[in-house]
Each structure stands twice: as C-alpha cells, then as structure tokens.
C-alpha cells in the first residue's frame, strides 16, 4: 500500500503504518489538550491510542496466522486510522477455512480482554464501556473496554468485517460462493449505510461515517472480485497469453533492445539461448539502463531469472494469485519445455473487459 511509513516484521509479515495514522495521533492529542486535562492526560490518551493499535496489529496477526495454517500467506498488514488491513495472497474458498480465519482476529481480542481483567480487579466499570476515553477511568480498564467493543463491532454481520465473513462462510455451506458473497455484500452495504447515518445524524461522529464508507466500498469491491474469479474459472492461461512477442539472446546489445522497446508495444523481453529460457529482461530494468546508458551491456547482463513458468493449460484464475504474490507484470508461458507465450497483467485485464475470448495465432519473433 502506498504512502506507508517504514515497516517492521512480525512473524515474517511486513507491518506498515500508513501516514494518515499520524493524523489520528495528532487529532487525539489536540482534542485531549483542548479538553483541558493537561500534559499528563494528553500523553495518557496518546498512549492508549498506541496500545489500541497494538491490539489491532495482534488482531490482524491472528487472521494471518490462521490463514497460514491453510497455506495462505499474508503480503502485509497495514495500519490505517480506521483500523488494520491484512492483505492475504488469496482468500480461503472452503467455508470452514474462512470461518476459522474470520474468527481468529476477534479471538485474539477476547484473549487480550481476559489477560487484562486481573489488572482491573476482575471488573470493568460500566462507564468505561460507554465512554472508553473517559479521563476518570484507568488506562487498563479503557483498553479492556475498547477490546470488548472491537470484538462486538467486528462480529457485526457487515461484510467484509469479520462477522460478515462468518456470514458468508455459513451461507456458502448452502449457496454457491458467488451467491453467498453477493448476499453478504448486500447485508454489508445496508450496515454501512446504517453506520453513516448513525455517525452523521445521531452521534455526530464522522469517524463512524468514514468506517461506513469504507465498509460499503470494500463490500462492493470484494463482491466484484469474486465475480471476476468466477468469470475466469473456465478459462486457462492460453486464452489470455500473448503469442506475438519478440525474444532476445543473452548477447543482444541493450541498445538494440531499447530501440525495439521504443518502437513497439512490448514491455518485457524473454532472454532465450538455443531455445532455452534464460530469464526475462524487465521493463523497469531496461528503462533504468536507458537513463544511464552504460555502453557495451547486453541482455544477459540485466536479465532476471524466473522461477515462475506457467503452463498454457493452467487455469487462469490460479494465476491471479501468482500476480498478486509477485511484483512482476509478465510471466512466461511454456508448453513441453518451450516458450510459447507471455501472460501480462494488462492481457488479463483485457480478457476481463472483453465480451468474448479467442486464441491468437502463434507468431514468435526475435530482435
């Protein structure tokens, strides 16, 4: 995610703090100071905010570690002013897997509450549940109360919140995955409208309205993504790959390739020696070279080896996860050990935008 501050690793997962999180810290500090509670009160509320977001990170880590049990890695966890987002490489498709992953996050908050209760004398003041930022309530009680609220809020059946994912998992035991997603998304959008109305017209809380806006668009986007995946389910890599492309040899001068790059529409160039794929010359590397133009360099000097070779009969939907897991925009396609095509992100997007699909006659050239 762009505009993130430097990250750190937790259980091998990058954790990023979005720059807008600093705005929330500033807002809490200023609003607390305006209430006239003094420097100690300001520092206490900022400390509470930081502690809450530590709990948010642990919540997202719960999702990530549960997903890892099913072979699903997490690309990163990002902290935003409205909460955290764990970006999984792919979504669980079996209802029981999604159920476990969805419940793992709130379960972490339950554990945090149970761990804090002995420090509160085994009770939390009822006022702390209603006003978790009240100055006359201890920081530990407020933190416990906020975790209770986090559990309750996240378990609302507002897809894609955790409760909404639980709803989809339960619906998916009776309906198709797409229909279950559409139904959960409708519930999520209705809940999002409710958040916005409650935040703007009843409580006067713009942050709750912002959460509603996030939930509405997130529900729409994920429902669309599921429909896209279902649309691709009957297609394979061969339906979307480019078969008209140029290859280069390791000793081809970069100057020659640069001219071909400027003149044509090809971004990445496969580097082939005696019919064997040696690597791929990436567009970014070629453009960097063009800016510096070191004389005498060849394709072999900049080619990057690739450990991802797609078969032309591989289901296209599986490749979406591969694109999501890597930064590359082009993947080589092979058949019987021979390079037969290139699959690009833009090609997949064109397939999604097209009304129909057809194969392109093979025509492989070289520079």
The answer to whether the pTM exceeds 0.85 is no
The CATH 3.10.580.10 portion of the chain extends over: 237-366
Q: Is residue 121 classed as helix, strand or coil in its secondary structure?
A: coil
pLDDT of residue 6: 61
pLDDT of residue 240: 79
* Fold that domain 237-366 belongs to in CATH: CBS-domain (3.10.580)
Secondary structure, 3-state, 241-255? CECEEEEECCCCEHH
H helix runs in 265-328, sequence order? 283-292, 299-302, 316-325
pLDDT of residue 3: 52
Residue pLDDT tens, the chain, 367 long: 455 566 788 888 988 887 777 777 777 677 767 666 667 767 877 888 888 889 999 999 999 999 999 998 898 898 887 778 888 887 787 899 999 999 999 999 999 999 988 887 656 555 555 555 555 567 888 888 889 889 998 999 888 899 999 999 999 999 988 899 999 999 999 999 998 898 888 877 787 888 888 889 989 988 888 887 777 777 888 887 888 888 888 899 898 888 888 887 788 888 888 778 888 888 888 888 888 777 788 888 888 877 677 777 887 777 776 666 566 678 888 887 788 888 887 777 777 665 443 333 333 333 3
pLDDT of residue 109: 95
- Intra-chain end-to-end CA distance of the chain, in Å: 37
Long-range CB contacts (within 8 A, 24+) of 162-171 = 162/102, 162/103, 162/105, 162/106, 163/102, 164/188, 164/191, 164/219, 165/98, 165/101, 165/102, 166/99, 166/102, 166/103, 168/98, 169/95, 169/96, 169/98, 169/99, 169/102, 170/95, 170/99
The C-alpha atoms of residue 61 and residue 114 are separated, in whole angstroms, by 18
């Amino acid at each position: 995610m762009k505009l993130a501050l430097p990250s750190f690793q937790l259980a091998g997962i990058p954790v990023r703090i979005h720059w807008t999180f600093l705005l929330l810290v500033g807002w809490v500090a200023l609003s607390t100071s305006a209430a006239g509670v003094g420097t100690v009160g300001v520092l206490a509320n900022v400390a509470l905010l930081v502690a809450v977001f530590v709990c948010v990170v642990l919540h997202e880590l719960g999702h990530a570690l549960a997903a890892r049990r099913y072979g699903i890695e997490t690309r990163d966890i990002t902290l935003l002013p409205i909460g955290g987002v764990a970006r999984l490489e792919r979504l669980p498709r079996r209802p029981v897997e999604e159920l476990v992953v969805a419940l793992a996050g709130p379960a972490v908050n339950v554990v945090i509450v149970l761990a804090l209760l002995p420090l509160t004398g085994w009770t939390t003041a009822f006022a702390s549940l209603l006003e978790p930022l009240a100055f006359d309530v201890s920081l530990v009680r407020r933190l416990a109360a906020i975790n209770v609220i986090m559990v309750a809020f996240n378990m609302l059946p507002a897809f894609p919140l955790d409760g909404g994912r639980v709803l989809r998992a339960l619906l998916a035991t009776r309906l198709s995955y797409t229909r279950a997603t559409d139904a959960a998304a409708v519930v999520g959008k209705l809940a999002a409208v409710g958040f916005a109305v409650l935040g703007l017209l009843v409580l006067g809380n713009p942050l709750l309205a912002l959460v509603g806006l996030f939930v509405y668009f997130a529900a729409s986007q994920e429902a669309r993504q599921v429909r896209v995946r279902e649309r691709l389910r009957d297609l394979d890599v061969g339906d979307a790959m480019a078969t008209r492309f140029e290859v280069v040899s390791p000793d081809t001068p970069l100057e020659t390739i640069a001219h071909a790059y400027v003149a044509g529409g090809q971004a990445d160039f496969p580097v082939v020696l005696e019919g064997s794929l040696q690597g791929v010359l990436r567009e970014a590397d070629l453009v960097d070279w063009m800016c510096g133009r070191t004389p005498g360099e060849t394709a072999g000097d900049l080619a990057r080896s690739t450990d991802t070779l797609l078969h032309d009969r591989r289901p296209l939907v599986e490749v979406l996860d591969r694109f999501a897991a890597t930064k590359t925009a082009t993947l080589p396609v092979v058949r019987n050990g021979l390079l037969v095509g290139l699959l690009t992100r833009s090609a997949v997007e064109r397939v999604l935008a097209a009304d129909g699909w057809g194969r392109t006659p093979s025509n492989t050239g070289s520079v």
